Amino acid sequence: MPHVIPQEMRQHLRAARAEFRQSVEAMVPPEFLTHRRAARREMLLAARSLIDHALERLQEKNSA
């Protein structure tokens, strides 16, 4: 039987995470958050490039 986290605990954890995020964001300059978001986007684009390349190589192998 799988372990299930009770709904009440999940709600508490979500609220705690939101409050923690707000407190951290209040301590850093807004420019940091802007750069962090941009860096995250760039990392996701880099991951997409790797996946696209892997898919292309797989397709080439299947075509041969």
Read off the tokens for 19. 């409050």
pLDDT tens for 8-58 read 999 999 999 999 999 999 999 999 999 999 999 999 999 999 999 999 999
Q: What is the pLDDT of residues 43-57, one digit of tens each?
A: 999 999 999 999 999
Q: Is 39 helix (H, G, I), strand (E, B) or coil?
A: helix
Spatial separation of the C-alpha atoms in residues 55 and 62, rounded to whole Å = 10
Cα distance between residue 21 and residue 1, in whole Å: 34
> pTM for this one?
0.65
